[in-house]
Amino acid sequence: MARVRISDRIAAARAERVAKSAVRVRREIEAREGARVLVGGRQLVSFCGNDYLGLSQHLDVVSALQEAAAWHGVGSTGSPGVSGFHREHAAFEREMAEWLGYERALYFPGGYQANLAVLPALLGDGDVCVQDKLNHACLIDGARLAGCELKRYPHADPEAAMRQLLARRDGAAVLATDGVFSMDGDLAPLAELALVARAQDALLYVDDAHGIGVLGPEGRGSLAVAGLGAREVPLLLVPLGKAFGGQGAVLLGSAALVGHIAESARPYLFSTAPAPALAAAMRASLKLIRGESWRRAKLAMLVARFRRGAAAHGLPLQASTTPIQPLILGANPRALAVAKALEQAGFLVGAIRPPTVPEGQARLRITLTCDHTDRDVDALLAALVEALKASPDPVSA
């Protein structure tokens, strides 16, 4: 039997991606100012970033980062349990816990890392993790790393989640879901899932990457929209790379739960802590999120304007009221062609293809932010209409 060579496997995988129009190319952003980005020497209006509230370049946030870096340096120098836990980290954790009504918070360097830490710290062999089929990859990978049984229910179907929990053995159970789904923009049925988790003695865990800062009073996210809190959702993850305009993630829960993860989760214990200056910047973002509700109001108006215009032009958007507005185009080549036409017209929009989305559901993932204007939205809609005319659906053409 011939031995497998890694180089042959890589070449075959590359050829398969080429054949499926699934090759991914990183775009070099040469400069950015608000929604405007410089790519290849051309200025484009970006509709594919997640800086929903326009805070990543806000002067208060940038100034907090610069001042803290001047005082405390760039790096944290170590893991949190050795020398990396700083006064700025502690203050940020306290402020996040107070804001969202939890006993304790834990600051991670990244959201993906946090989910690789949380689920293996809670679950193991003989346990089960029940998840929405459209959950982000990090939740799925966290459950796989835990070594528990992973069950995935049809999207936004609490009854199916109930059936999967009913069928479990005697082990522990976690019911995990995104708060807002990153590729569809819709909200999880959190109130119903909370009832399911309570009835089946499962811990409900919500990753609210795309809801926090954007939805609910003071931007408290999808939990606030559903009227839920720490009692119904014992563990909440707040990634900071979207509405906060920064990097990292904060886990919130009871002192016992969060303390256990802080003391036992390998990705937390053995990683260098985030820079103290970044924690200071995220504290500034939190203050703006809580105090400047006009940002959410403007964002909601832009979303409504885009959806009204799309409906007037007959564009088949998904049912989303969040800044994530997916336009499903089906085949990979068509999604790429429309994205390329939009770029030629002056807009940067991501063509999202499998495995990020299911086969046959390649799409444009259009995201709106506070940095956009009414004129930007109207111009994008006009360009979309022309791009779709130039690349018709092969099924209906």
Q: What angle do CA 70, 106, 141 make, to 5 degrees?
A: 115
The enclosing domain of 208 has a CATH number of: 3.40.640.10
pLDDT for res 397:
46
How many domains does the chain contain in total?
2
246 and 227, same structural domain? yes
Residue 8 belongs to a domain: no
Residue 349 belongs to a domain: yes
- pLDDT tens per residue across span 213-229: 999 999 999 999 999 99
173 and 101, same structural domain? yes
Judged against a pLDDT cut of 60, whether residue 384 lies above it is answered with yes
Judged against a pLDDT cut of 70, whether residue 396 lies above it is answered with no
258 and 215, same structural domain? yes
pLDDT for res 80:
94
236 and 196, same structural domain? yes
pLDDT for res 183:
94
Which two tokens mark 232?
């119904």
Judged against a pLDDT cut of 50, whether residue 265 lies above it is answered with yes
What would the mean pLDDT of 225-248 be, rounded to a whole number?
A: 98
pLDDT band of 27, cuts 50, 70, 90? confident
Q: Is 210 known as a binding-site position? A: yes
Exposed, middle or buried: residue 2 (CB in 10 Å: 0-12, 13-18, 19+)? exposed
Q: Is 356 known as a binding-site position? A: yes
The enclosing domain of 347 has a CATH number of: 3.90.1150.10
285 and 221, same structural domain? yes
- pLDDT tens per residue across span 97-119: 999 999 999 999 999 999 999 99
Q: Of 291, 307, 324, which residue sits at a domain end? A: 291
What would the mean pLDDT of 131-141 be, rounded to a whole number?
A: 97
Residue 10 belongs to a domain: no
Tell me the average pLDDT of the chain: 95
- pLDDT tens per residue across span 1-23: 778 899 889 888 899 889 888 88
What would the mean pLDDT of 385-389 be, rounded to a whole number?
A: 93
How much is the pTM?
Answer: 0.94
337 and 190, same structural domain? no
Separation of alpha carbons 289 and 243, rounded Å? 8
pLDDT for res 73:
95
201 and 109, same structural domain? yes
Q: Of 227, 257, 291, which residue sits at a domain end? A: 291
3-state secondary structure of 160: helix
Residue 2 belongs to a domain: no
What would the mean pLDDT of 123-132 be, rounded to a whole number?
A: 97
3-state secondary structure of 372: coil
275 and 175, same structural domain? yes
What would the mean pLDDT of 308-334 be, rounded to a whole number?
A: 94
Range of the domain at 330: 22-52+293-390
Q: Of 291, 324, 348, which residue sits at a domain end? A: 291
Q: Is 136 known as a binding-site position? A: yes
What would the mean pLDDT of 159-174 be, rounded to a whole number?
A: 95
Q: Is 182 known as a binding-site position? A: yes
Q: Is 24 known as a binding-site position? A: yes
Residue 138 belongs to a domain: yes
- pLDDT tens per residue across span 45-76: 999 999 999 999 999 999 999 999 999 999 99
Based on C-alpha coordinates, what's the Rg of the chain?
22
Q: How many CA atoms lie within 13 A of 369 on its CB side?
A: 22
pLDDT for res 395:
56
Q: Catalogue the long-range contacts made by 162-168 (C-beta closer than 8 Å, 24 or more residues apart).
A: 162/196, 162/199, 162/200, 164/128, 164/130, 165/128, 165/130, 165/196, 165/197, 165/200, 165/202, 166/200, 168/128
131: region left, alpha or beta (phi > 0 left; psi from -120 to 50 alpha): beta
Largest CA distance in the chain: 66
133 and 173, same structural domain? yes
303 and 154, same structural domain? no
